[in-house]
Structure 1
Amino acid sequence: MEFKTMYHPSAGREPLLQTFEEFGVNLHPEEELPVNEEPWRPFCSRGDFEFAEIALNAALNKSQINALLALIGRISRGESRVTFSNDNELRKAWEHAAAQVTPFVKHDITVPYKKEQRVYETHALPLWDWALDLLANPLLAPHFVWDAQRVFKHNGREFERFYNEPWMGDRWWDFQSRLPSDIKAAPFCFILYADKTRLSSHGTVKGYPVVVRCANLPVGIRNGEGIGGGRVVRWLPIVSEDADEEGKPGFVNLKRVIWHEAFLKLLELVAQHSKSGYSHTCYDKIARWLFPIILILSADYEEQCMMSLIRGHHSKCPCPVCLVLLEELSELSKTFAFRTVEEAIAALNVYKVSKARGEELLKALGLCAVTNVFWLIVHSDPHQAISFDRLHALHLGMWRHLLEELKKILKALGRDEESKVEKQVASFPRWRNLNHFSTIIHITFSDGNKMQDLSKQAFYSAVNVLNQRTSPEGYKLLRVISSYLQLDSYIGLDVHTSSTLAAIDAELLVFDSALKEYIECALNSPIVGLKLDWDFPKAHLWKHATRDIRMKGAVRNYSTRPNEKLHGPLKEAYERQSNGKDVADQILRVDTRKFAAKMLRAHVDVLDERRTLAGEGNDDDEDPNPVAFEGHIKLGSTQQPVAIQDIETHGGQLDRAFQGFRKKFSDFINNSLPMYGYRLERWVTIPTNFLIREHRFLKVHYESTVDWKQTTDYLRCTPGFHGQPRYDCALIQLAQEVSVFVRLVFIFSCQLLDVGSFEFALVQPFTAGIGASRRSDRDLRLTCVKAVPRASSIFVPVQSFIRGAVCFPDPDHRDEFLMVDHIDSDMFVRMKSRPARQ
């Protein structure tokens, strides 16, 4: 019994012990949901709905829709025909057509635009009406979680508590403890996000959407793009900026008053029900009194200031959560008192009686003289609801400052050192879903995902350039970046335990020490312009990360990332489906249609799934060319069979790994197969014409060490992937207690007569002796491995692959590699249990 779940006492449920296989499975299987046989209603037919869905997603205008419907009519009457069967055929036809006309010539031009500001009317969908829509949806109903939980996993010695979903945090538990005990009361928990966004490509037209999500739904639904995901429920007004008034206290307060007044209509019913509750019979047939709470406020720092009504980054106390002083923001070793609603209300009450005395109190607290709308909702303290945002605090915050320091130091070292780092960044190993860069010196984008990826690549690419002898400032900075990457990886885990939270707190002290050493070094450095003042809010905010995780679960629960993804459709709606007038009204109309389309599509998909399971599916839907599958491994990019002697002859001329290929393979078969449980009656001889089939693509499914879910790595072993050779690395199980890193050389399958079919890989192990660890490896926490000679490559079954890996070639040490620990959470956790040198 690895898992233990303790429910809140008001749930009336006994603690639950489960095996690994049982954990996470629905404990109360419900009857099958009734299926609507016409889920496309109110459209007259499924065809009507699907046409409307395509037209909506493609942003077709009136003339385009009429033209397309006219074409469909002519096709149905036999007056015309369309021969295209897929997008590829259409593209080829356009290519042939385009070849007949003179091509465009590209020119780079710069067009200046005068900045404009507009004020928009506010639009709102009452928040409780949205909540009732969710509760009424039969596809979502079984997924709601009502009771707080404390969940534990046995670590071999004891049950250790872990934090994942919001209902596993202390805030949910504490809130549920305050609800009436004489009724079946349960929390309905909201997550609110707000931020301005540029709608027009030139940035003069802006929008101010508010997005809501339901914390009672699992993260896969809540942060997804389908039903149950985020919904724009408010369009806040943007107050025009006046150069003469901007920055003045009265004008700043005016914007805050408008913001909170605009939120009031959105929250009216929520505020009422937070006091009295709302009776609702849930999907499990249990009548509950639902009490709404604003559990999480997700925003960047600017919006956090608006939500908490603090005065901003120049105020005396610029943190929206605690009362840290401006001059102590970088002091991560110190702890400060948390803000409370009670002290804010008391200061505002004094202000209403005596502005002078009240202003003095408010200024000391860093607060504005404005009533906070969140005070109207019971137990919805905005200072507790405001949550650490990894995107803006780290990837678009602290890392940007570190990157600027890195650029300054490289520039001081000279063009040759800059060029060396640039080349190493450009040659960083490719990896799925990892952005790659050709430069770090001339970075102009502000994409948080790219910044996150750049931080990993810049660090490893600069290790051999910024050493203690040639650049003491650079070396100190690398120690700061190393600690930053440790913290970023730890904080980004989707499941936290008491151990990982303790590790974050300990690493914050390491970062604090490394940063102070860098500041001291920069103070005495001849390099002009190095940053000495690190007292800014984003240097402090991650001080509250562990508290937020304990209170509200993993950081993905309150990340702004999934909310900012919704900005894209809003911009598209402005550019393609509005006429530039009454923008908010038009965009929200389009957004509502898309939300309705998602709802209908979900029900249509359920109907299709049920019909498929009932045997009504179309056999043509099956993959005509299934990929070879064996256990947790899938082979792909299959080549034509080739004689083994040809592989040895052609490959051996270019790569010593293929020399003696046939003999080495014969020895491997006869010596190793018996250890794998295959009985060989005689020595297996491999003839020169023995056929093997090469595979250049490999999928590896494995269980994540972080959240215990299946994850997949995509590995390439090919001389040409997007025009470049790519031979990925992997972690394999070499023996029962030994796992090692390897580089792929060749993947193949074959048929052994009277034995069976097999899938093997020729790999170059990274198991060569590397000697004592270097000081830089210890200081920067680098994991180093060394490859054996290519001629010493070995055969292994593909079943021995554990997962993929990224190994960065050490430019200063031949055949040595630095393991990229931070490539994902699973690798980060695995590497914590491995020695730094192997």
Structure 2
Amino acid sequence: MGSNIPAPISAATATTSDRLDTFKTEYHPHSGRAPIIESFSVYGTNKPETTQSPIIDDEPWQPFSCRADFEFAELAHRAALSKDQTNELLKFIWRVADGRTKFTFKTHNDVSAAWTRASSQLTPFERHVVPVEYKKENIEYEVYSRPLWDWALDLLDNPLLAPHFPWTGDRWWNLQTSLPHNGAPFAFILYADKMHLSSAGTVKAYPVIARCGNLPVEIRNVDGPGGGRLVGWLPIVPADSDEDGKLSYTNLKKVVWHKSFKILLETLSLISKTGFAHQCYDGILRWLFPLILILSADYEEQCVMALIRGFNSACPCPICLVPKDKLTDHSTIYPTRIIDDAQACVRLWNMDRTAGEAALKKQSLRPVDNSLWIVERSSPHDALSQDTLHAYDSGLFGDHMFEEVKDHLKTLGRTAEKTTDDQFAAFPRWRNLNHFDHVTNISFSDGNKYLDISKQILYTTQNVLTRKDDEAGYALLKCIASYLHAYMYITFDVHTESTIAAGEAEILVFQKCLDEYIEILGDEATKNWNFPKAHSMRHIFSDIRAKGAARNFSTRPNEKHHGPIKRAYKLQTNGKDIANQILRLDHTTFVSVVLRNRINHFDDERRKAILSERELETEDLDDRSFGGHIHLGAPQSAITFAQLENDNVSNRAFGQFRKKLSTFLNHALPAYNIPLPDGKTWLTLSAQDTVQEHRYLKVNYESVVDWKLTTDHLRCNPSFHGRERRDCALVRTQDKDGNNKNIFVRILFMFKQSIGSQTLDLALVQPMDAPTGPQHAVDRDLRLRRLRARPLASTEFITLHSVIRGALLVPDFASTRGDFFLVDYVDSDMFLCSQRYMF
């Protein structure tokens, strides 16, 4: 506290004696310290610095073990390394430190120079300028492109991709027939879509992704040297509020797009007509003809690619000439668009604007030359395909049926909404299926989340949107049930004539259910169901017949590229000249992927050569593929039967565990031709015998859809990420008469049990085969498969080798009798098995 504050004194004449101010410091009574009064010279700005030496900590990095540990952890934190990245970096550091690998980099320049040398091996990007005249002014737009044919030759010259160039589908067959006898098609799949780079949406990008249609989907749709490649960066016409909505401005955007896209296709134009002789991996000289087989895009981009006028035009489909008021009519076939008609309309427009505009408007076309016309056998209307992500997941279901469900729940009141949310929260977890704690008050922009909601919504609303409480809502659920059936057929990875026929028939069922729902709503209808994405069902199975399974033309694998592009913009660019920077980074990333693929192939072959077959079998399989039927993982410490029974004394499922297990083993071992140990005629387990619990099971099974090996990952864990999880499975067993049958069970306990020299993989399960009585009306209408659990006291033991595959069962939230529903939409194998009643 200051006192006796003097009047201001000039700095030139002030002396210490002039300063009469003193400062009094009072301490809290609990401190036991007396007040002190100090003069300005002691307290103020001229107070001399203390001469006391600071305490020096000999190990300031504590509690880290050493300074290097702290500095590594600090660097990993600043770089925001993930757990996997941190582990990989640590493994690399120790390989270098132990002298097991050579390392030469010393500076960032060394790293950059190495990437430059490696990048020169693959086709780089080229910058182009596209001039466009608008309102008598020439405007220039920048386009970046990677010559498509040079990229194709990169693929053809890759020895790891060489053996993989097949294809299926009617269109491929027809294209092959149209070529010279020794000609071979080289098919491109192209994707283009605008994206936001900045969170505010002010910075945008327009990438073009290419995939090779000759490569199998397992290679081209995943990350790797044969996967999708960023091949173009299109310009975006700046927004202009004064011009927006004007026909001339709209046409300008289309002109810029197609002139830019034409640059990307230029290397294919002449070759598509003459062919290109190339000596392939097998030494055979082939005559290759490039073509655009598939254009993968959402509806808005399809309109740009096909140069049609959009959903408000007379014919809003980019593939056929369906009138805009007939988009939900799936029973009528309308004329298909062809290039000759479009070219004739554009020629007429160039000669006579009035007559040309009338002709173009009749077919909803733009007066612009289509860039795809320069590539032979590449009609945009044939190449455009129905995309499940935008047409169905985000469109038909997400924007329409799901929003309608939420409206019906809101009308019923907050209790209905809360019940639905609670039942979503209680929905059992399953691998690769998003879990939702609530859905009624949120919306998504992620089609994958809409897809997962669609697979759960019938089971979580069937006891809320009942026929009694909401007739229209119940009719909507019938629509969703039919939609899901059609969707499952659409997304099969392999089709037969019977699955395609079943899918086409289901689309007509869906149309009927939708008409009934709209009729029940009457004047209360608020949604317009006559929209282009609903019409896409009319073409989906034609696309499948022509181009193979729907995953061939899905935008899903292409939209995954948006994430790395956004991250590169945010973390590795300075916000200027972003196209050039991002494309350079993408080129480096792709070079890295190619080299990593080669290294992994080299490591795998060397590992197989070094390790014996027995050593390969004993490697940890929890996180790796395996060749057998089952693999038990997540082992726990061995415990005695006495301890196990004591820990579960209140759980009826474990009642008389040891006695029931003894009975099971005495019947099962002879059935499997396994002799009882020590020549015994009856096996008895003691309370001190031990058992080893496992909480993770991997099951390999052959899918009935594509006959390929598929793996289910099952958990039996009292606390899996903080929640109890007891997965279910389909198992093969016998009835009381000794006949084989398949039943569903809930896995309660998995363990390994040693009997003499044998180790058995076993499980305690709760069978789900109790009688359910007459079929419920809701089960019939919503196509639900009901199961009923036996009482917990009726648990049984099974050998885990009897597990056929995993199963997702959800409780019937309205039942008090232990009823469950089979979620047969969880994957295509379960769906097809359910339709064929193979259980």
TM-score after normalising by structure 1: 0.81
Equivalent residue letter for 2:821: L
Match in the other structure for 1:773? 775
C-alpha distance in structure 2 between counterparts of 1:613 and 1:422, whole Å: 51
Question: Which residue of 390, 393, 398 corresponds with 2:391?
Answer: 393
Matched-pair contact (CA < 8 Å) for 2:745–2:765: yes
Match in the other structure for 1:51? none
Q: Which has the higher contact order (CA 8 A, sep 6+)?
A: 1
1:516 equivalent in alignment to 2:515: yes
Deviation at 1:604, TM superposition (A): 2.4
Match in the other structure for 1:731? 730
Question: 1:611-690, aligned counterparts within 5 Å?
Answer: 611-615=606-610, 631-653=628-650, 655-680=651-676, 681-690=680-689
Match in the other structure for 1:453? 452
Equivalent residue letter for 2:496: T
Deviation at 1:524, TM superposition (A): 4.9
The CA RMSD measured in Å over matched residues stands at: 2.7
Matched-pair contact (CA < 8 Å) for 1:440–1:458: no
Matched-pair contact (CA < 8 Å) for 1:522–1:532: no
The one-character-per-residue Cα deviations of 1:451-476 (angstroms, maximum 9, x if unpaired) are 11011122210011111111101100
- Check 1:265–1:787 CA distance in 2 against 1; reply closer, same or farther (3 A cut): same
C-alpha distance in structure 2 between counterparts of 1:659 and 1:746, whole Å: 13
Question: 1:742-757, aligned counterparts within 5 Å?
Answer: 742-753=745-756, 756-757=758-759
Structure 2: which 5+ residue stretches go unaligned? 1-74, 82-88, 100-138
Match in the other structure for 2:282? 284
Equivalent residue letter for 1:519: I
Match in the other structure for 2:213? 215
Match in the other structure for 1:712? 711
Deviation at 1:650, TM superposition (A): 2.9
- Check 1:747–1:630 CA distance in 2 against 1; reply closer, same or farther (3 A cut): farther
Match in the other structure for 1:142? 163
Matched-pair contact (CA < 8 Å) for 1:821–1:828: yes
Matched-pair contact (CA < 8 Å) for 1:494–1:556: yes
- Check 1:593–1:748 CA distance in 2 against 1; reply closer, same or farther (3 A cut): same
C-alpha distance in structure 2 between counterparts of 1:627 and 1:588, whole Å: 38
C-alpha distance in structure 2 between counterparts of 1:122 and 1:819, whole Å: 52
- Check 1:607–1:687 CA distance in 2 against 1; reply closer, same or farther (3 A cut): closer
Question: 1:305-344, aligned counterparts within 5 Å?
Answer: 305-344=303-342
C-alpha distance in structure 1 between counterparts of 2:763 and 2:511, whole Å: 46
Deviation at 1:353, TM superposition (A): 2.0
Deviation at 1:624, TM superposition (A): 7.1
- Check 1:782–1:621 CA distance in 2 against 1; reply closer, same or farther (3 A cut): closer
Structure 1: which 5+ residue stretches go unaligned? 1-53, 61-67, 79-117, 146-166
Deviation at 1:789, TM superposition (A): 0.5
- Check 1:254–1:504 CA distance in 2 against 1; reply closer, same or farther (3 A cut): same
Q: The residue matched to 1:761 in structure 2 has which SS?
A: strand
Q: The residue matched to 1:823 in structure 2 has which SS?
A: coil
- Check 1:574–1:627 CA distance in 2 against 1; reply closer, same or farther (3 A cut): closer
1:763 equivalent in alignment to 2:765: yes
C-alpha distance in structure 2 between counterparts of 1:773 and 1:624, whole Å: 49
Same amino acid, percent of matched pairs: 50
Question: Which residue of 825, 828, 831 corresponds with 1:825?
Answer: 828
The one-character-per-residue Cα deviations of 1:675-718 (angstroms, maximum 9, x if unpaired) are 22224450111222222111111111111111111111111111
Equivalent residue letter for 1:172: W
Match in the other structure for 1:4? none
Q: The residue matched to 2:445 in structure 1 has which SS?
A: coil
The one-character-per-residue Cα deviations of 1:127-173 (angstroms, maximum 9, x if unpaired) are 1111111112222122223xxxxxxxxxxxxxxxxxxxxx2101111
Equivalent residue letter for 2:772: I
1:784 equivalent in alignment to 2:783: no
Deviation at 1:318, TM superposition (A): 0.3
The one-character-per-residue Cα deviations of 1:778-805 (angstroms, maximum 9, x if unpaired) are 1110000000100001111010101111
The one-character-per-residue Cα deviations of 1:51-93 (angstroms, maximum 9, x if unpaired) are xxx99xx799xxxxxxx9xx999x9899xxxxxxxxxxxxxxx
Residues matched between the structures, number: 705
- Check 1:745–1:204 CA distance in 2 against 1; reply closer, same or farther (3 A cut): same
1:435 equivalent in alignment to 2:434: yes
- Check 1:252–1:419 CA distance in 2 against 1; reply closer, same or farther (3 A cut): same
Deviation at 1:242, TM superposition (A): 1.4
Match in the other structure for 1:810? 812
Question: 1:344-493, aligned counterparts within 5 Å?
Answer: 344-400=342-398, 401-493=400-492
C-alpha distance in structure 1 between counterparts of 2:509 and 2:162, whole Å: 46
Q: The residue matched to 1:228 in structure 2 has which SS?
A: coil
Match in the other structure for 2:296? 298
Matched-pair contact (CA < 8 Å) for 1:519–1:532: no
C-alpha distance in structure 1 between counterparts of 2:618 and 2:666, whole Å: 36
C-alpha distance in structure 2 between counterparts of 1:682 and 1:743, whole Å: 32
Q: The residue matched to 1:760 in structure 2 has which SS?
A: strand
Match in the other structure for 2:192? 194
Matched-pair contact (CA < 8 Å) for 1:121–1:584: no
Q: The residue matched to 1:496 in structure 2 has which SS?
A: coil
C-alpha distance in structure 1 between counterparts of 2:648 and 2:778, whole Å: 38
Matched-pair contact (CA < 8 Å) for 2:621–2:631: no
C-alpha distance in structure 2 between counterparts of 1:190 and 1:179, whole Å: 16
Q: The residue matched to 2:744 in structure 1 has which SS?
A: strand
Deviation at 1:635, TM superposition (A): 0.9
Q: The residue matched to 1:635 in structure 2 has which SS?
A: strand
- Check 1:770–1:349 CA distance in 2 against 1; reply closer, same or farther (3 A cut): same
Question: 1:176-255, aligned counterparts within 5 Å?
Answer: 176-181=176-181, 184-255=182-253
- Check 1:605–1:667 CA distance in 2 against 1; reply closer, same or farther (3 A cut): closer
Equivalent residue letter for 1:715: L
C-alpha distance in structure 1 between counterparts of 2:191 and 2:822, whole Å: 37
Match in the other structure for 2:559? 564
- Check 1:393–1:663 CA distance in 2 against 1; reply closer, same or farther (3 A cut): same
C-alpha distance in structure 1 between counterparts of 2:747 and 2:295, whole Å: 46
C-alpha distance in structure 1 between counterparts of 2:97 and 2:473, whole Å: 70
Deviation at 1:342, TM superposition (A): 1.2
Matched-pair contact (CA < 8 Å) for 1:492–1:556: yes
Match in the other structure for 1:265? 263
Q: The residue matched to 2:701 in structure 1 has which SS?
A: strand
The one-character-per-residue Cα deviations of 1:515-564 (angstroms, maximum 9, x if unpaired) are 01111111155xxxx43421110110121111001100001111101111
The one-character-per-residue Cα deviations of 1:486-523 (angstroms, maximum 9, x if unpaired) are 11111111111111110111001111000011111111
Match in the other structure for 2:116? none
Deviates most, 625-634 or 762-771: 625-634
Matched-pair contact (CA < 8 Å) for 1:523–1:532: no
1:122 equivalent in alignment to 2:143: yes
Deviation at 1:620, TM superposition (A): 12
- Check 1:771–1:206 CA distance in 2 against 1; reply closer, same or farther (3 A cut): same
Match in the other structure for 2:570? 575
C-alpha distance in structure 1 between counterparts of 2:607 and 2:691, whole Å: 38
Equivalent residue letter for 2:791: P
